[in-house]
Amino acid sequence: MEEQIIEENPVKGLETTQKTPNDYRFDPDYHRFAELLGVDKFKRDDLDVAQKLSFVYDWAKENVGSDNSTEIKEYITDYIRELGVQFRGLELVKHLYQMTRLNEEGRRMRQDHQRIEKEPIEKIKGLEKNTIEKEITEGMRDVKRHVKRRVKTEMTKTIKQGIQEAIRKAGEYG
């Protein structure tokens, strides 16, 4: 009997028993997941699609906290319903990938925000409090200058439009 190789797929997260090592195209779990999302059989061989599917699968696996593929697929199905999308196939994969990336970035940003809130301002990036306050003050000055310029530009533009409108109306009645 031939020996089967159990290895982590290059498409991260989908482990498989396969005859050809490191090839997601022969992974039945990968194909079941792609089928769940309605990805065409011929489009599944695309490495870009495989990487997006892998990212979504890993994201769901992390959120579920389990390796059980049924639980992971249920989580993804619930997430699709929560998003309210009706399409399937590559469009769904693309949309899920974008949404999970945004979700992941948001989670990372919230973690960073919590970490920063816990740290005293002096310890952030090794800067002293005076340096940070000075940079904030300079930044505020730049913002004020920009706002003043923008307001002046918008006011000038509005005045010109008003004058042009008055001249146009004077011409109509004159």
Q: Tens digits of per-residue pLDDT, 46-89?
A: 889 989 998 999 999 998 998 888 999 999 999 899 888 888 98
pLDDT in tens, 144-154: 888 888 888 88
pLDDT given for residue 42 in this prediction: 85
pLDDT value of position 97: 92
User: Tens of pLDDT along 3-47?
Assistant: 444 444 445 555 444 334 457 778 788 888 888 888 888 888 888
| Distances, alpha carbon 170 to alpha carbons 17, 123, 156, in Å | 84, 65, 21
Same domain for 87 and 155, yes or no, is: no
> Do 103 and 144 have their domain in common?
no
> CB of 49 within 8 A of CB of 42?
no
Percent of the chain with pLDDT over 70: 80
Length of the chain (residues): 174
Residues 28 and 2 in one domain: yes
Last residue in a domain, options 118, 141, 158: 118
Q: Is a pLDDT exceeding 80 seen at residue 125?
A: no
Residue 111 reports pLDDT greater than 80 = yes
* One domain for residues 150 and 98: no
Provide the domain limits for residue 44: 1-118
Whole-number Å distance between alpha carbons of 37 and 146: 48
Cβ atoms within 10 Å of 75's Cβ, excluding its own: 17
Which of 72, 96, 118 marks a domain boundary? 118
| Number of domains within the chain | 2
As a whole number, mean pLDDT of residues 95-101 equals 91
Q: What region does 127 belong to: left with phi over 0, alpha with psi -120 to 50, or beta?
A: beta
Task: Tell me, yes or no, whether 114 and 131 share the same domain.
Answer: no
What local confidence, expressed as pLDDT, does residue 122 receive?
52
Residue 74's nearest CA partner among 38, 107, 36 is 36
Give the per-residue pLDDT at 17. 40
Higher model confidence: residue 3 or residue 142?
Answer: 142
Same domain? 109 vs 139: no
- Please determine, for residue 2, whether its predicted confidence score (pLDDT) is greater than 60: no
Residues 138 and 81 grouped into a single domain: no
Q: Are residues 105 and 154 in the same domain?
A: no
72 and 9 in a single domain? The answer is yes
Q: Which pLDDT does position 165 carry in this prediction?
A: 82
Would you state the pLDDT for residue 121? Answer: 57
Is residue 9 domain-shared with residue 90, that is, in the same domain? yes
- Whether residues 84 and 133 share a domain: the answer is no
pLDDT at 124 over 70: no
Same domain, 114 and 130: no
